[in-house]
Amino acid sequence: MGKDIQKDIQLVGFRIGRENFGIPIGLVREIVRMMEITAVPDAPDYVEGVINLRGRIIPVIDLRKRFRESTIVANKRNRILVAELGGRLVGLIVDAANEVLKIAPSEIEPPPELLRESDLSYVTGLGKRTGKLIILVDVEKILGRGELVRLSELHDWQPTDAA
């Protein structure tokens, strides 16, 4: 049988508002509970600040704000996905991190033309899984190149202890 057997794509599933999203599992280093975030002066509004994760300073972006979610509710299900982007770790606040999702390539549709040509060009596909749509996203495209450079500068930023 010369049929090409394609492996399922593994994603970390997360929720923002009512929508389900997925990013490649290879980008996610860990998922942590919400913790104290230190604000950084003059950061864009969707940059919550930085966290100290086992001695590493990691910038944190609120994907809910970045996706312009209208109602942002803090609760115990909120998580920080620690992802590696451009060789740097970045924390991504989401409403909930669901699970590892396995989706067959045959169950993934390319994004509609409207999404490819707009500000939503970070949508790489739509996965169909048990009657739900999973929006597949490219995290690096969510953040523009300039934003990634600014975030990399936050890695070097160390909060000073207030006397």
> Has residue 3 been placed in a domain?
no
Most confident of the following: 3-12, 58-67, 144-153: 58-67
Q: Using one digit for the tens of pLDDT, what is the confidence trace for 8-29?
A: 899 999 999 889 999 999 999 9
Residues 6+ apart with CB under 8 A from 59: 40, 47, 49, 50, 90, 91, 151, 154, 155
**pLDDT at res. 115:** 60
Q: Decide if 134 is inside a domain.
A: yes
Within-domain flag for 140: yes
- 98 within a domain of the structure (yes/no): yes
Per-residue pLDDT band for 99 (boundaries 50, 70, 90) equals: confident
Q: pLDDT tens digit string along 130-150?
A: 888 999 988 887 766 455 555
> Domain of 135: which CATH number?
2.40.50.180
Q: What is the pLDDT of residue 20?
A: 93
Residue 108 inside a domain? The answer is yes
In a domain, 163, yes or no: no
pLDDT in tens, 31-59: 999 999 999 888 888 888 999 999 999 99
Residue 110 CA to residue 56 CA, distance in Å, equals: 37
Q: Encoding tokens for residue 81?
A: 């996905």
Q: What is the pLDDT, as a whole number, of residue 102?
A: 92
Q: Which domain holds residue 59?
A: 9-155
Which tokens belong to 19?
């929508």
Segment (H or E) for 89: strand 88-94
What is the layout of strands, in order, in the sheet containing 108-109? 96-103, 9-16, 19-24, 132-137, 123-129, 108-109
| Tokens (6 digits) for 40 | 């950084």
Name, in order, each residue with C-beta under 8 angstroms of 68's C-beta and a sequence gap of 6 or more: none
Q: Is the pLDDT of residue 2 over 70?
A: no
pLDDT band at 161 (very low <50, low <70, confident <90, very high): very low
Residue 4, domain member (yes or no): no
Number of domains in the chain: 1
> In angstroms, how far is the first alpha carbon of the chain from the final one?
72
With respect to residue 28, please indicate whether it lies within any of the assigned structural domains. yes
pLDDT band at 127 (very low <50, low <70, confident <90, very high): very high
